[in-house]
Amino acid sequence: MSYSMHLLVCGGTGCQASESAKLLENLREQIKANGMEDQVQALVTGCFGFCEKGPIVKVYPDNVFYVQVTPEDAKEIVEEHVVKGRRVERLLYEEPTLEVKLAEHKQMPFYKKQYRIALRNCGFIDPENIEEYIASDGYMALGKVLTEMKPMDVVNEMKKSGLRGRGGGGFPTGMKWEFATKYDSDVKYIVCNADEGDPGAFMDRSILEGDPHSVLEAMAIAGYAIGANHGFIYIRAEYPLAIARLKIAMDQAMEYGLLGENILGTGFGFTIELKYGAGAFVCGEETALIHSIEGERGEPTTKPPFPAESGIWGKPTVVNNVETLANIPIIITKGADWFSSIGSEKSKGTKVFALAGKINNVGLVEVPMGTTLREIIFEIGGGIKNGKKFKAVQTGGPSGGCITEENLDIPIDYESLTAIGSMMGSGGMIVLDEDDCMVNIAKFYLEFTVEESCGKCTPCRIGNKRLHEILTKITEGKGTPEDLVNLNELGKIIKDTSLCGLGQTAPNPVLSTLKYFRDEYEAHVNEGKCIAGVCQAMLQYTILEEKCIGCTACAKVCPVNCIAGEPKGVHVIDQSRCIKCGACYDRCKFDAIIKK
């Protein structure tokens, strides 16, 4: 059966929430109603990354890209586009800055600067059909490795490619594999880390949902390279769609003989098992993860010994992140030289970022290492929402830091981000604007790490709690200049003395905001002022004499009756009784009440 037209519907978690499953069903119904089921195929695919405008439908071979498609639009798409060949103009993407409708995704600024390697198959193939993966060269890398390369050749190819871990640390993948080859053992393990605990990140989920076979294939390749025949995928139970797609992919791979015993008749065997995590952030740390797989408590232990020497049940174990793995098959098929030609000097290839916060194009973007933050935020991301002013971008999630305007033009890679007090982390990127209070942001991240600390070591368990208390005190308007000194000192001690990466990085959001936004901290503690107008306790609502027309609306909504004034006369707020609920501010139609 050969179809003359394909309709690809995004089936990622985000788009499924906006009814993409129903949309697919309606498309299929309409195709049938028009008697074209032999010619037109509608299928599900992985995340296109342009989540801001999802659900997305892509039409091949016309290469037309429809955005924000609802189930009700199916009829028009089929009757107009599929049957009559006329594009549905109203569903095309309108570029806000150009005010033109763009039909092809390649014309969109969102995609222009992107280079999709790890996400190469997301939005391109049906993740539930192994033959689509095979058609796009899937399992060819495994075939090549098993028939043409010795295990050490594979390790060397990885070393040459310059691929580094995408899970946060940036450790060279080839070197990690090489360590694992040095330890003799009849049993070794490969672990795929799909815990993805950073609250802002969803690239690993999207890869597993959109291209699960690439991860399975990479694990088998890693197994061959270090001499392991068994692998685990440690995935959080809150990812039901990713789990479902992985299970389908694993079953199909077993059925086709691409996992299991004697793969492709080469004698090499590899099996994979799923393990579910309960969603604790610390379980993403590799030693905690290993203990969790062993059935122990998910608490970190000191390194060395590194997992490559002594991991699961004391056996040599390689832990790699999902995105790291997704890069591997294509490095093997296209070669290490191709891969190392992309990116910056010390960081090769691309990185996927999850763009979120006060930005126009929320979504997943993949760019070569060495791209600047300005390009990501203002070109791909379409700039700040509602024309507000950019304040900072937080990278690296709860372990990272804030980056300000002055550093936006630095080409980003592992080293440069660390040098400016942040880090790559897993690739979460939250954009903040003038309305965000940096003290409050730091407090938000600390809240997360305090909650997620496993409690095993004192600096992290107690120290971070103290940091959080000081920040709370400052946001409540009770801070003193001494508190700023303490934050800095305590933060550094926690970094130096915590047992695992969680504690070692938890003070980063505090230290970096303290460094780059000291004026905001000082305004809080010295003047009792929150410049961004976020910290409730420091706000003051006042009525502007010249603007108030005396309509009495504010006085009527004030829950504590602290606004006085005659009808048609200027109103006044009694500050000593005001509880800062903001009701009057929302009610005044004449912009006479200000919040400062």
Partner 1 sequence: MSKIKSLDELKKIRESAEKSFNLRATSEDDDRVVLRVGMATCGIASGARETMNTLINELSKENITNVSVTQTGCMGYCEEEPIVEVIFPDKPSVVYAHVDEARAKEIVQKHLKEGILLENAIMNKSFDRVKE
What are the residues facing 343 on neighbouring strands? 348
Site for ligand SF4 in 403-462 (CB under 6 A): 453-457, 460-461
How far is 318 from 153, CA to CA, in rounded Å?
17
Nearer to ligand SF4, 149 or 539 (CB): 539
Contact code string over 68-87 relative to partner 1, x by CB under 8 A: ---------------xxxx-
How far is 525 from 189, CA to CA, in rounded Å?
53
At a CB cut-off of 8 Å and minimum separation 6, what does 143 contact? 264
State the binding partner of 196 from partner 1, ligand FMN, ligand SF4, none, CB within 5 to 8 A by kind. Answer: ligand FMN
Q: Are strands 100-102 and 93-95 parallel, antiparallel or unpaired?
A: antiparallel
- Confirm or reject binding of residue 548 to ligand SF4 (CB under 6 A): yes
- Quick check: helix, strand or coil at residue 568? coil
Nearer to ligand SF4, 140 or 594 (CB): 594
- Quick check: helix, strand or coil at residue 189? strand
State the binding partner of 578 from partner 1, ligand SF4, ligand FMN, none, CB within 5 to 8 A by kind. Answer: ligand SF4
State the binding partner of 334 from ligand FMN, ligand SF4, partner 1, none, CB within 5 to 8 A by kind. Answer: none
- Tokens 């305004």 locate to 523
Span from 3-11, 199-207, 299-307, 337-345 in contact with partner 1 (CB under 8 A): 3-11
At a CB cut-off of 8 Å and minimum separation 6, what does 462 contact? none
User: Whose CA is closest to 237, among 283, 189, 201, 272?
Assistant: 283
- Confirm or reject binding of residue 153 to partner 1 (CB under 8 A): no
In the bound complex, what is the minimum distance in angstroms from residue 510's beta carbon to ligand SF4? Answer: 15
Q: Where are the beta strands (DSSP E) in 311-349?
A: 317-321
Q: Are 501 and 433 in contact (CB under 8 A)?
A: no
- Confirm or reject binding of residue 165 to ligand FMN (CB under 6 A): yes
- Confirm or reject binding of residue 319 to ligand FMN (CB under 6 A): yes
Q: Are 590 and 579 in contact (CB under 8 A)?
A: no
User: Whose CA is closest to 51, among 477, 382, 465?
Assistant: 382
State the binding partner of 193 from ligand SF4, partner 1, ligand FMN, none, CB within 5 to 8 A by kind. Answer: ligand FMN
In the bound complex, what is the minimum distance in angstroms from residue 500's beta carbon to ligand FMN? Answer: 5
Task: By CB under 6 A, name the one of 132, 157, 209, 286 that touches ligand FMN.
Answer: 286
Q: Are strands 230-236 and 563-564 parallel, antiparallel or unpaired?
A: unpaired
State the binding partner of 582 from ligand FMN, ligand SF4, partner 1, none, CB within 5 to 8 A by kind. Answer: ligand SF4
In the bound complex, what is the minimum distance in angstroms from residue 535's beta carbon to ligand SF4? Answer: 14
Q: Is 406 exposed, middle or buried (0-12, 13-18, 19+ CB in 10 A)?
A: exposed
Task: By CB under 6 A, name the one of 119, 130, 221, 502 that touches ligand SF4.
Answer: 502
Task: By CB under 6 A, name the one of 19, 160, 552, 572 that touches ligand SF4.
Answer: 552
How far is 176 from 576, CA to CA, in rounded Å?
63
How far is 345 from 451, CA to CA, in rounded Å?
38
Nearer to ligand SF4, 303 or 473 (CB): 303
User: Whose CA is closest to 44, among 27, 30, 32, 31?
Assistant: 27
Is the peptide bond prior to 61 cis by the omega test (within 30 degrees of 0)? yes
In the bound complex, what is the minimum distance in angstroms from residue 124's beta carbon to partner 1? Answer: 7
Task: By CB under 6 A, name the one of 21, 83, 241, 562 that touches ligand SF4.
Answer: 562
Give the footprint of partner 1 on this chain (CB under 8 A).
1-6, 8, 39, 41, 60-63, 83-86, 124-125, 131-132, 134-137, 139-140, 143-144, 146-147, 255-258, 260, 264-265
Give the footprint of ligand FMN on this chain (CB under 6 A).
165-169, 171, 193, 195-197, 281-282, 284-286, 319-321, 324, 426, 500-502
